[in-house]
Amino acid sequence: MYLCKPCAMQIAHPPFMNTEYPSILLSEAVKHFSALPGLGKKTALRLVLHLLRRPTNEVNAFAEALTKLRQEVHYCSICHNISDDDICPICKSSHRNHQLVCIVENIQDVMSIENTGQYNGVYHVLGGIISPMDGIGPKDIEIDSLIERIQTGAIKEVIFALPTTMEGDTTNFYIYRRISAISESIQITQIARGIAIGNELEYTDEVTLGRSIINRIEYNGK
């Protein structure tokens, strides 16, 4: 309660909102947007309010695209890249060198390397790297399927293009040991260390990344 100075009357405080936002629907939308990587509540709120200002048909199309993506997207049965079909266009292409396989951590790395225009082989997407601190072991990523591809005898060279971190180096060494145990004829290389230690491929400029692939060096497990 507070006193109105002109008349000294007691007036009740206006009621506060029960939530942080004026609408429960708005609050729910912000909560889901802020769960996305790199989005805080303020940014999430701006995005939600932006959508509210857009025509209904645009918002519906946006929601439908997300739903369709989640329900209908495929992962390539060969390399595990995202695809509209069971086998991605890169693995289908007769213009790619299928004897050369670049091993990457994630799909963003495939996109980064493709943007350089300097690589004509195919890929193998691990979907992560070995990280005991995060509870991620060899069985949690696509290493066994890589070994199965190598055992077909169709692959002549594999290129390690994993992050230059302790976890990336650990994954390189583990795969190197697995490959060496089944084949002595496969050439094992890694992209040149023109990329700064700890940098991820998606944040490396195309020229530097392209040169790192062209000037790749032999990997000997050290």
Q: Is the same domain home to 106 and 211?
A: yes
The verdict on 31 and 124 lying in the same domain is no
Would 84 be classed as within a structural domain? no
In a domain, 210, yes or no: yes
Closest CA to 147 of 192, 108, 110, 101: 101
Q: The whole model's pTM is what?
A: 0.80
pLDDT tens-digit series, residues 7-50 = 555 555 555 455 678 889 999 999 999 999 999 999 999 999 99
pLDDT tens profile 116-143: 899 999 999 999 999 999 999 999 999 9
Report how far residue 115's alpha carbon sits from residue 189's, in angstroms, rounded to the nearest whole number. Answer: 21
Q: Are 109 and 172 in the same domain?
A: yes
d(CA 196, CA 193): 7
194 lies in which domain range? 94-218
